[in-house]
Amino acid sequence: MSTLYPPIEPHRSGHLEVAGGHRIWFEVSGNPAGRPVLFLHGGPGSSTKPDHRRYFDPAHYRIVLFDQRGCGLSQPAGSIENNTTAHLVDDIERLRVELGVERWLLFGGSWGSTLALAYAQTHPGRVDRLILRGIFLASHAELDWYFLGLRQFIPEAWSELWSVAPGRPWPELVRWYYANLYGPRADQVAARWSAFETAVMSIGEAQPLAPPASAGPGLLARARVQVHYLAHDCFLRPGQLLDDMPRIAHLPATLLHGRQDFVCPPSTAYDLAACWPQARLTYVEQAKHASSHPVLERELIAAADAARDLERIHT
């Protein structure tokens, strides 16, 4: 059963104009005078959902969600123009200023953990704590696993993904999808790309998971943004996030990673924790990648509650 906090509605929402012709959708819920927490969604290309507000005690936290460039309700949907990790970091800082936040807790998973690290390393003075799950550092080793290693577990879905570029290196596979997501069969290409992700997330499940979107512009926009980032190494230099850890090594962090995570290898979280003195890594033994897994969900809520309780002690 879900242990999320009860449903809650935003008391502020709208679009924020940012550089490069984008308008990012944001919302604020919970305690207007509470401790600011920023939820960073995964992907790239995904979006926020109402349940994302419910990881946090609304009496304590001022809960901020936003859809990244090209994602969800942000405009223009699916746009990859002026859409890089540096742009997203700037957007977070622009949102912080707009909301009058001095420092906030960053809460992100998967690609959201990547973006949280990139923002914190750029603006360490604006972050006081991080809660990260399903760590992704955007390294070639992780993508080797995703595009090559997973063949051992889902050969049918892997063969379908690779049928368009058999025997090629995976960067060429990504470039094929990148080009063809703008061609006459873009919808079919997006569906093929997304089917592989769904198959990975479904490993070990009694019933296959539903794709993030069944068809249409939502599926296409999501795939375009995701492939755009993967085709450009997520706009990070090799090893960047680990190399820049000294900038945030003093910040406290909770790292949660499913032991059975097939999307992001658990070894990645180990590597991050090894160079983060103030981080505590917990492998959630029964959990996979999705934050909605009941055991992982409980751990995420417990981490946010623990940060709340610690603040109450200190005040």
Task: Give the chain as a 3 state SS string.
Answer: CCCCCCCCCCCEEEEEEECCCEEEEEEEEECCCCEEEEEECCCCCCCCCHHHHHHCCCCCEEEEEECCCCCCCCECCCCCCCCCHHHHHHHHHHHHHHHCCCCEEEEEECHHHHHHHHHHHHCHHHEEEEEEECCCCCCHHHHHHHHCHHHHCCHHHHHHHHCCCCCCCHHHHHHHHHHHCCCCCHHHHHHHHHHHHHHHHCCCCCCCCCCCCCCCHHHHHHHHHHHHHHHCHHHCCCCHHHHCHHHCCCCCEEEEEECCCCCCCHHHHHHHHHCCCCEEEEEECCCCCCCCCHHHHHHHHHHHHHHHHHHHHHC
Residue 3 belongs to some domain of the structure:
no
**Whether residues 109 and 227 fall in one domain:** no
Average pLDDT for 73-80: 98
- pLDDT band per the 50, 70, 90 thresholds, residue 215: low
Q: Is residue 156 part of a domain?
A: yes
Do 179 and 212 belong to one domain?
A: yes
pLDDT in tens, 243-293: 999 999 999 999 999 999 999 999 999 999 999 999 999 999 999 999 999
Digit-coded pLDDT (tens) for 193-203: 999 999 999 99
pTM, two decimals, is 0.96
Pair (217, 254) in one structural domain: no
Check 41, 261, 291, 293 and give the catalytic one.
Answer: 261
Give the model's confidence band at 117: pLDDT under 50 very low, under 70 low, under 90 confident, else very high.
very high
- Asked if pLDDT for residue 210 goes beyond 70, the answer is no
**101 and 213 together in one domain:** no
Catalytic residue among 110, 113, 194, 291: 110
For residue 205, name the pLDDT band (cuts at 50, 70, 90). Answer: confident
Counting the structural domains of the chain, the total is 2
pLDDT in tens, 13-71: 999 999 999 999 999 999 999 999 999 999 999 999 999 999 999 999 999 999 999 99
In a domain, 4, yes or no: no
On whether residue 2 sits in a domain, the answer given is no
Quote the domain boundaries for residue 197. Answer: 141-234
The answer as to whether 1 is a domain residue is no
Q: Which of 234, 250, 280 is the last residue of a domain?
A: 234
Domain identity same for 158 and 305: no
- The whole-number pLDDT of residue 302 equals 97
Average pLDDT on 146-150 reads: 98
Residue where one domain finishes, among candidates 174, 207, 234: 234
29 is catalytic: no
* Same domain for 112 and 258: yes
Q: What is the mean pLDDT of residues 148-176?
A: 97
Active site residue 261: yes
Mark whether 86 and 54 lie in a shared domain.
yes
Residue 6 lies inside a defined structural domain of this protein = no
pLDDT at 103: 98
| 165 and 48 in a common domain | no
* 32, 131: one domain: yes
* pLDDT score, position 47: 97
In a domain, 7, yes or no: no
pLDDT of amino acid 166: 94
pLDDT at 315 over 90: no
Annotated catalytic residue: which of 47, 289, 291, 293? Answer: 289
Active site residue 289: yes
Decide which of 191, 210, 234 is a domain's last residue. 234
Give percent of the chain above pLDDT 70.
Answer: 96
209 pLDDT above the threshold of 70: no
Domain co-membership, 211 together with 291: no
Same domain, 161 and 225: yes
Q: What pLDDT score does 69 carry?
A: 98
Residues 79 and 190 in one domain: no
Confirm whether 262 is domain-assigned: yes
The CATH number of the domain holding residue 97 is 3.40.50.1820
The pLDDT of residue 278: 98
